Structure 1
Amino acid sequence: MSSDLKKSAQKVQQALDAFGFELRVKEFSESTRTSQEAADAIGCTVGQIAKSLIFKGKDSQSPILVIASGANRVNEKAVKAHLGEKLEKADAAFVLEHTGYAIGGIPPVGHATAITTIVDEDLLQYEEIWAAAGTPNSVFRLTPQILVEMTKGAVLEVKK
Structure 2
Amino acid sequence: MSKSIRRVEEAARAASLQIEIERMPDSTRTASEAAEACACSVAQIVKSMVFEGASTGRLKLLLISGKHDVDLGKAKVLFGEELIRADPKRVRSETGFAIGGVSPLGHLSEIETWMDTELLAHDTVWAAAGAPNAVFSVAPEGLLTATAAKMLDLSG
Q: For this structure pair, what is the TM-score category when the shorter chain's length is used for normalisation?
A: over 0.9
Over 6 Å off, 4+ runs: none
Runs of 5+ consecutive residues of structure 1 not aligned to the other structure = none
The CA deviation string for residues 117-155 of structure 1, in whole angstroms up to 9 with x for no partner, is 110011111010000000000001001101110111111
Aligned-partner residue type, residue 92 of structure 1: P
Residue in 2 aligned with 1:122? 118
Contact 2:17 2:146 in 1 (8 A): no
Equivalent residue in structure 1 for 2:64, among 65, 68, 72? 68
| 3-state secondary structure, aligned to 2:61 | strand
Matches of 2:70 and 2:24 in 1, distance apart?
A: 27
Residue in 1 aligned with 2:6? 10
Task: State whether structure 2 residue 106 is matched by structure 1 residue 99.
Answer: no
Q: What is the count of residue pairs matched by the alignment? A: 156
* Identical aligned residues as a percent: 38
Matches of 1:119 and 1:38 in 2, distance apart?
A: 18
Runs of 5+ consecutive residues of structure 2 not aligned to the other structure = none
What's the RMSD between the two structures over aligned residues? 1.3
Q: Which deviates further from its counterpart, 93-102 or 128-137?
A: 93-102
Superposed displacement of residue 19, structure 1: 1.1
Superposed displacement of residue 83, structure 1: 2.4
Q: Which deviates further from its counterpart, 72-81 or 101-110?
A: 72-81
| 3-state secondary structure, aligned to 1:33 | coil
Aligned-partner residue type, residue 89 of structure 2: A
Task: State whether structure 2 residue 124 is matched by structure 1 residue 109.
Answer: no
Superposed displacement of residue 7, structure 1: 2.7
Task: State whether structure 2 residue 32 is matched by structure 1 residue 33.
Answer: no
Residue in 2 aligned with 1:155? 151
Contact 1:76 1:158 in 2 (8 A): no
Task: State whether structure 2 residue 19 is matched by structure 1 residue 23.
Answer: yes
Q: TM-score, normalised by structure 2?
A: 0.94
